[in-house]
Structure 1
Amino acid sequence: MIKNAQFVISNTDYKKCPEPTKPEFAFIGRSNVGKSSLINMLTNNKNLAKTSGKPGKTQLINHFVINGNWYMVDLPGYGFAKVSKGIKSTWEKMISNYLTNRDNLVALCVLVDSRLEPQKIDLEFITWCGENDIPFILIFTKSDKQAKSKTQQNIQKFLNECVKIFGEDPQFFVTSAQSSEGKEDVLTFFDEEVKEYYDSLK
């Protein structure tokens, strides 16, 4: 359970991030996938991560310390943000440097909009994660926005694409920031992984 969530620091450089002594879970997804809303739902704090209807709101690596013993990290989205190519390539470099250099990154939570058919940009991103040995899970968002059958259909199509890439389904969760669907499952996953992380240091 999350009893306490506090903003720590924003950065553009992974080297200036907090000391990598606590387990870390980062959140990333296509612009406007509902990343900030999900973080706020999971932490019971509607003002923790900045939400915006305008894609590209998150432009930094934002660290939040949870219960004093692990980090949640809000990363810039990829995809449709209306920013210049220069800024976009700076973001991409910042994100890839962070992901490939944080030894304490336990899992990257890749958010996928469950209302959509599999998107090429999401599949390309998880393929890159696989090629770079980035441990990731999938979190399907906005499950409340359409009929359950349609959501399940889209998720299954995405998982089928994952099997083509990896030979198996990645671990995944289905969530809604509005109804809190999936909240307990995701938090249980974090709790178990945090415990495992600290157990491995003993």
Structure 2
Amino acid sequence: MSNFKAINFHSARFLKSAARLDQCPEDTGAEVAFAGRSNAGKSSALNTLTRQNKLARTSKTPGRTQLINFFVLNDPAFRIVDLPGYGFAKVSKETKKDWDYHLEQYLQERKSLQGLILLMDIRHPLTEFDQEMVEWAYESGLPCHILLTKADKLKFGAAKTQLLKVQKELTRHRELVTVQLFSSLKKQGIDELSELLSQWLVPNEPSDLQEP
């Protein structure tokens, strides 16, 4: 009988922030990182997943999050990671270059990283930045799951059409890249996301894990 304790995303609590790879928590266990443009609804998605309104800071000023933020789950070996938003931050080129360097270093060298959740506004998917992240993950052999956020902004038929369009655009990446609809406002897609995260964090356990 397995000693596995189902992952409870509601148990997430802040662990620490890091500006550089050497400031990150010990590189053991397993973690999944969330990335996306600064207006893609990343903080809202994390708060919805964990049912905590203030776990990840939301701001009306895109690009506010400038650090890599780590959150530990009910088992200390499991973490979710909030990466700095990209694309809209009003910072100097030098600062952005510094961010990009440390972020790339984290993505390439972090051994405990099991997958990337990439958030895109369903109305504006696959921007240049998004495609760069998808290509990087694909070439690195890292599973990437796309959340088409703010799905409530479109009627169901239009949202489904957009989903199919994005899937078609990423056909050559289908071995490692998957896509789903998501809405923090309507609580849409939470179960699908929770199940996928459980599979990534505990790959040797049954795939039908459910939260307690």
Counterpart amino acid of residue 63 in structure 1: F
Q: Does 1:79 align with 2:126?
A: no
TM-score with structure 2 setting the length? 0.86
Q: Do structure 1's residue 153 and structure 2's residue 193 form an aligned pair?
A: no
CA distance 1:185–1:131, change in 2 (3 Å): same
Q: Offset at 1:197?
A: 5.7
Please point out which of 187, 190, 195 is paired with 1:180. Answer: 187
2:120 is paired with a residue whose SS is strand
Query: Could you say what secondary structure the match of 2:136 adopts?
Result: helix
- Tell me which amino acid in the other structure corresponds to 1:139: L
Please, which of 90, 95, 98 is the counterpart of residue 103 of structure 2? 95
Task: Write the mapping of 1:43-58 to structure 2, written as runs, cut at 5 A.
Answer: 43-58=50-65
Give the corresponding residue for 1:7: 14
Structure 2: which 5+ runs fail to align?
1-7, 207-212
Higher mean C-alpha displacement, 137-146 vs 111-120: 111-120
Percent of residue pairs bearing the same amino acid type? 36
Asked if the contact 1:20/1:102 (under 8 Å) is kept, the reply is: yes
Q: 1:193 to 1:53 in 2, by over 3 A?
A: same
Instruction: Determine if contact 2:34/2:117 at 8 Å carries over to the other structure.
Output: yes
Query: Which of 121-130 and 141-150 deviates more?
Result: 121-130
Q: Deviating runs (4+, > 4 A) in structure 1?
A: none
Given candidates 36, 39, 49, the residue that maps to 1:29 is: 36
2-structure distance, mates of 1:26, 1:117 = 19
Work out the CA distance in 2 between the residues paired with 1:122 and 1:196: 26
The CA deviation at 1:132 is: 2.9
The residue correspondences of 1:107-126 to structure 2 (distance < 5 A) are 107-126=115-134
CA distance 1:168–1:101, shift in 2 (3 Å): closer
Supply the distance in 1 between the matched residues of 2:125 and 2:106 (Cα, whole angstroms).
29
Q: 1:71 offset after TM fit, Å?
A: 0.4
**Any conservation in 2 of the 1:23–1:197 contact (CA below 8 Å)?**
no
Q: Residues of 2 paired with 1:193 and 1:117: CA distance?
A: 24
Q: Which residue identity does 1:68 align to in structure 2? A: D
Say if 2:191 is the partner of 1:195.
no
Instruction: Please give the alpha-carbon distance, in whole angstroms, between the structure 2 residues aligned to 1:38 and 1:195.
Output: 21
The answer to whether the 8 A contact 2:68-2:84 is kept is yes
Between stretches 145-154 and 3-12, larger displacement belongs to 145-154
Aligned residues: 198
TM-superposition CA deviations, 1:50-106 (whole Å, max 9, x none): 001211011000000011331010001111222211111111111100000111111
Q: Which residue pairs with 1:63 in the alignment?
A: 70
Structure 1 unaligned blocks of 5 or more: none
2:100 is matched by which residue type in structure 1?
A: E
Alpha-carbon RMSD across the aligned residues, in angstroms, is: 1.9
Q: Is the 8 A contact 2:163 2:179 kept in 1?
A: no
- Matched-pair contact (CA < 8 Å) for 2:163–2:180: no
Is 2:169 the partner of 1:171? no
Q: TM-score, normalised by structure 1?
A: 0.90
